Amino acid sequence: MDPAYVAVHMEEDRSHWWFRGRLAVIRATLRRTLPPRRVRLLELGCGSGNVLAALAEFGEAVGMDAHQDLAAAARAAGLDVRVGHLPDDLGVAPGWAEVVLLLDVIEHVADDRAFLDEILESSVQPGGAVVVSVPAWDLLYGPHDLALKHFRRYRPAQCRALLRAAGLEIVRDGGLFHSLLLPRVLQRVSEVAAGALRRAGNGKNGEGHADRPANLGEWRGGALLSSVVTMALDADTRLSAQLARTGYALPGLSYWALGRRGLA
């Protein structure tokens, strides 16, 4: 992997509004849910370790990622990150983890139910927690998801059903990035219309050959606009955390849930 890509990826993880907003809600949820003692946490698909570093406040945190260079960069920053492919190379003893985090992971897995079953059986102790976040709303699946190798997006009810079928009791859940949902719906309508026009105009395949969508780090809004957008989305994040405390799951562009495994 290109060292420049690793450096950019790590900077995006630290500073981009998407990662910052998701992390803020996950941390607030763990603070209100975990027992008042140090616990063992395992983040799977941890990337460059932005979330993993923040988990140190809760106890012993171990990460795992398939990208060797990202894992090496995380280890250079003092984090305990192992390299491997899930779920075959978990690298921890069975039932070691009291909390497992799967943040924007299961949408990359063809058989999400079998994957969750394996993770629960191999790494989560009875009574332990699993935190999941996923891109929301299957109707929004489009070129960006294809570029990121997503198999699917999830309706919140669909993700809740998946977690319950795997044996998890939903303790807390909610949406993320509420204010971005309508703009994304309008963007998706535009993508579909553009694909239809291309097919009608030249007979080529539609959106599968659309221009590559910008990734999260390719923001070009300028300093002032970036500051305004960041302030607005920080307010959005605070709203998400507050709604999670009240038990109201306002729809957003992402969905997250904390589920607890049964003792039996």
pLDDT tens-digit profile, the chain (264 residues): 444 444 434 444 555 778 888 998 899 999 999 999 999 999 999 988 989 999 999 999 999 998 888 888 889 989 999 988 776 677 788 889 999 999 999 999 999 999 999 999 889 999 999 999 999 999 999 998 999 999 999 999 999 999 999 999 999 999 988 888 888 888 888 888 888 888 887 755 544 444 445 444 444 555 565 566 667 777 777 777 777 777 777 789 999 999 999 876
- How many domains is the chain partitioned into structurally? 1
Structural domain of 144:
3-261
The angle at the Cα of 18, spanning 16 to 19, to the nearest 5 degrees, equals 75
Question: In the prediction, which pLDDT does 217 show?
Answer: 46
> pTM score, two decimals?
0.82
d(CA 183, CA 196): 20
**What pLDDT is stored for residue 149 in this prediction?**
94
Residue 235, domain CATH? 3.40.50.150
Per-residue tokens: 241:
């955390």
